[in-house]
Amino acid sequence: MNVYDSERMADVLRPLGYGMADGPEDADFVILNTCHIREKAAEKVYSELGRLKEIKLARTGAGGAGMTIAVAGCVAQAEGEELMRRAPVVDLVVGPQAYHQLPELIARTARSRGERLAADFAPEAKFDALPKARAVSGCTAFLTVQEGCDKFCTFCVVPYTRGAEYSRPAAAVIAEAESLASQGVREVTLLGQNVNAYAGGQGWTLAILVRRLGEIPGLDRIRYTTSHPRDMGDDLIAAHGEVEALMPYLHLPVQAGSDRVLKAMNRAHTAESYLRLVERIRAARPDIALSGDLIVGFPGESDADFEATLDLVREVGYAACFSFKYSRRPGTPAAAMGRQVDEAVKTERLARLNAILDEQRHGFDRDTVGKTLPVLFEKTGRNPGQLIGKTPYLQAVWVEGPVSLIGAIAPVHIGGTGPNSLSGSLTGSPAAAPSSEAA
């Protein structure tokens, strides 16, 4: 979502004459778009600011025009005041629901440092104010359809940094998707902190939205992320079996495999209910690639609880999965819980979990060897003549092929697996690209 937000900030600033710089050294204005989900992400902001401070000083010292530094995103939202205090190099902070007001903030900062616009949650006002036109390059794009969270998992800052659940009206989403398709976008990933809780008014659910977007000419691939198991409706499960454009890949975080831990996390599902849900999804779309998020070392997690997570992972069989050490976030209920788990224990559990997840991912990749899969080519590879694309299962694949295939979907015979990607060879001619697409 930060990638989407960054692109939209560029859209907001373009009418003021701003364009993309190659790097901070050439920039008059630098925005750090930040993440607050784990301590490590939040701390990174300060090390980045240290680096930017050097660049800013070098520019000013050399009689340059100076540089304005803004911090955006969830760290700005949660720690705006502390940021301004700890890092005098920062000129302004702006939260994730207020960045449409950047032009006004920049003008005010020119008069006095320390402008801060973070506290109000008004996603509706933001989306209404953002320019309708998006300038995109490339054949894939993100599209935010839902923001915020009302679920309050006890470990998580999102409900505090992004605010309450909000869904954009379906008409606005459809218009944005049509505009993307007209610019050559062939794959759109619908975004939301709880994207499957989407409720776009007048009965619009994510399933209905996906079906409608699947009718847009040129938009051949639809993905969505991130989903909560609780909001996985029957209509959405059915769509996975019926909508051709909906890719067979689903990110469905479970977090843990022990019911005791899931309850303490306030997840509102059990290991068993998650497994039954997975069964129903696989019944609708047998080849679906499943992904998820897992946390190790939640307060009070015993060896037996952790073993339950491993059991669940073995039972599901993930194609790809993200795993995290529990990070104690200020202001969340879990941060105040007793029996915090030792860092060394977390490290050891994460390593054991990752060994299984890596094995599952490689197993999933190996199973695609010998198959012919449609690949959407996104860019050139590291070596001359190489193209990189994605399979329907979100695996990266490289082939030898002409640059003209970028933006096209072509059948690829998968020949082998590497640590992070597959290799393959082109087997036939690409599916026709839409006429609106640039060559």
Question: Residues interacting with ligand SF4, by CB under 6 A?
Answer: 149, 151-153, 156, 158-159, 193-194, 228
Q: How far is the CB of 69 from ligand SAH (least distance, A)?
A: 27
Residue of 103, 149, 101 whose CA lies nearest to 125 = 101
Under the criterion CB under 6 A, does residue 232 sit at the interface with ligand SAH?
Answer: no
CB crowding 155-184: b at 16 or more within 10 Å, else e:
bbbbbbbbbebbbbbbeebbebbeebbebb
Cβ nearer to ligand SF4, comparing 156 with 405? 156
- Selection from ligand SAH, ligand SF4, none that 142 binds (CB < 5 to 8 A by kind) is none
Q: What is the identity of the amino acid at 26? A: D
Q: Is 193 one of the binding residues for ligand SAH (CB under 6 A)?
A: yes
Q: Considering only residues 194-213, where is the footprint of ligand SAH by CB under 6 A?
A: 194
329 forms part of the interface with ligand SAH (CB under 6 A): yes
* From ligand SF4, ligand SAH, none, interface partner of 37 (C-beta below 5 to 8 A by class): ligand SAH
Instruction: For residue 225, state whether it binds ligand SAH (rule: CB under 6 A).
Output: no
- Asked if 148 is part of the footprint of ligand SAH (rule: CB under 6 A), the reply reads no
The distance of closest approach from Cβ of residue 351 to ligand SF4 in the complex, given in angstroms and rounded to an integer, is: 23
Cα dist from 98 to 9, 105, 135, 175, whole Å: 10, 10, 20, 22
Question: Exactly one of 99, 121, 142, 155 binds ligand SAH (CB under 6 A); which one?
Answer: 155
User: Using CB under 6 A as the criterion, what x/- string covers residues 249-268 for binding ligand SAH?
Assistant: ----x-x-------------
Cβ-contact 195, 152 below 8 angstroms:
no
Q: How far is the CB of 243 from ligand SF4 (least distance, A)?
A: 25
Residues 29 and 70 sit within 8 Å (Cβ to Cβ): yes
278 makes contact with ligand SAH (CB under 6 A): no
* 144 vs 368, beta carbon nearer ligand SF4: 144
Angle between helices 102-111 and 2-13 (to 10 degrees): 70
User: What does the H/E/C string look like for 234-280?
Assistant: HHHHHHHHHCCCECCEEECCCECCCHHHHHHCCCCCCHHHHHHHHHH
Which partner in ligand SAH, ligand SF4, none is near 327 (CB below 5 to 8 A by kind)?
Answer: ligand SAH
Give least dist CB 241 to ligand SF4, A. 26
* Contact partner at residue 295 from ligand SF4, ligand SAH, none, CB < 5 to 8 Å by partner kind: ligand SAH
Distance CA 133, CA 139 (A): 17
DSSP classification of residue 225: E
E strands present in 163-220: 166-167, 187-191
- With vertex at residue 88, the alpha carbon angle to CA 84 and CA 92, rounded to the nearest 5 degrees, is 50
What is 120-155 written as a DSSP string? Answer: ---HHHHHHHS-S-----SSEEEEE-EE--S---TT
> Closer to ligand SAH at the Cβ: 162 or 221?
162
Which residues of this chain interact with ligand SAH, rule CB under 6 A? 37-38, 149, 155-156, 158, 193-194, 226, 228, 253, 255, 293, 295, 324, 326-327, 329
